[in-house]
Structure formats: structure tokens, C-alpha cells
Copies of this chain bind each other. A is one copy, B any other.
Amino acid sequence: MKLYSETHTLTAADCNAQMELPLQSLVRQIIDAATGHANLLGFGYDRLLADGSAWVLSRLCTQMNRMPRVGESYNVVTWVEATNRHFSTRNFEFTTPGGEVLGYARTVWVGIDIATRRPVDLTTFTTLVEMSSDRHCPIDPPAKLRFSELNTVRNYQVQVCDIDSNRHLTTARYVELAVNCLSLNDLDKALPGRFDISFARECLFDENLTIESSLADRTLEAVIRNPAGEECCAAKLILIER
């Protein structure tokens, strides 16, 4: 019960130019596994919605030794680490059937009241609190991201296919907007090692976003801002040379 796992096989249609699982798909599978486990234990999206609240992903990090390759099967295991009034942390481990550890992920979730957009007290969900596991996750928690000068500026207008069930820019698309600051050549030479992303404000349909970024010493830093100039999302990706 405290552990939940899903098995995936990377198909040709789902892999990227490097014949590997794209970072944005890894993030989608992290959210899917979290959703599957939460639904099973009775504190999923539907249960919170009955109280007029919803799960919101606040921060996420992934640290991969390598990405799953095309045709390869792999397993994602997830468990709740801890829950307090404000946050619930949930971790993930990715392994091959042969036992090779591909990497780990950590996520930080908040519950918000849909009407007021204010945080709700997560400790009222007793099953959630009881499900904490002391299973080890050997990577650092999601970083607080603070950037100085970001020297490249691009714009992106939010499209209809980018919108999720909450009518905001979908999480995987934030990841894509950050990764898209890289070139095909960058990703041919290096793979995503450590990735940190934090979400501050939601982006809406048709908004013209500004994406500020900088790539130096194999580290990509990116900030996505809404038309008011407010930070919506910050991301940092450390590439590992192949």
C-alpha cells in the first residue's frame, strides 16, 4: 500500500531524437504514478475535489544516471515521504527489470481550495499522513532556484494543445518550454542529469509568455514569465556529457 509501481515500455513513437525517453515524458509519468497511487489510497484528485480542493505540483526534481531507451521496459516506484499542514512530499525510483537504478525523483505537492486559491491543511487527510514511508531517496530535495542574469529571451504564445484539465498550461509543457532552450546538437552530446523545476503561477490559454534562459558550463537556467512580468516557473537542468 505504501509503495505503488507502474511498468512502462518506451515505444518508438514516444522517444526523442536520441532514442530515449524525453524529460517531459518522464515528468508526465511521475505525475501519472502519483495520481494512480493517490487514487488507489483514496486521496486522489476526485477525493479532494469533493471538498472543493485540488492537488497542485509545487516543485519537482529528477536525477537520472541515464534515460530509458527505445524498446526498454522500466519500473517506476513511488511513495509518500511526509505530509505536514502545507506540503506533501512524494518520491520516485526508476529501475530496469534487471535491477539497474536509472534514477530518482522528488516532488512537493500542495492542496489548494479551488474557489479561494488558498492552501488547505493536508493533515486533515489522515490516510495521506498514515501512508508516509521511510524508504530512502538518495538525491537532494528540489532546489530553491535563484538566477542572476539570463542572456537569451524568447516568446511563446500558449496554444490550445498546451492546456490541461485545470485549464492551465500543462506541467509537461513547462518542461518542454525549458528544454526547448537547447538545440538538437546539445542533446546529442549530453543527457539530462539533474533537473529542478518550481511552479509559482499558472499560465493561461493565449498568454504571450517570455522565456529567459542561459546555457553555460552544461547548465541550463530558464524562467518563464507571464505578460505581467511575473515569474510562473523556474527551471535548472544540468547536462551530463555522453
Contacts and interface: CB of A to CB of B under 8 A. Distances in A.
Interface of A: 11-17, 19, 22, 24, 28, 31-32, 35-36, 45-46, 70-71, 159-161, 163-165, 167, 170-172, 176, 179-180, 182-184, 186-187, 205-206
B160 A179 contact: yes
Contact of A160 (B28, B164, B187): B187
Contacts of A183: 160, 205-206
B165 A19 contact: yes
A152 to B, nearest CB: 14
B17 A32 contact: no
Question: Which 5 residue pairs spanning A and B have beta carbons closest together?
Answer: A159-B180, A13-B31, A161-B176, A17-B163, A184-B205
Contacts of A14: 28, 32
A232 to B, nearest CB: 18
A46 B170 CA distance: 33
Contact of A176 (B32, B159, B164, B187): B159
23 contacts: A11-B32, A11-B35, A11-B36, A12-B45, A13-B28, A13-B35, A13-B164, A13-B170, A13-B171, A13-B172, A16-B163, A16-B165, A17-B163, A17-B164, A17-B165, A17-B205, A24-B161, A46-B71, A160-B180, A160-B183, A160-B184, A161-B179, A183-B206
Contacts of A70: 165
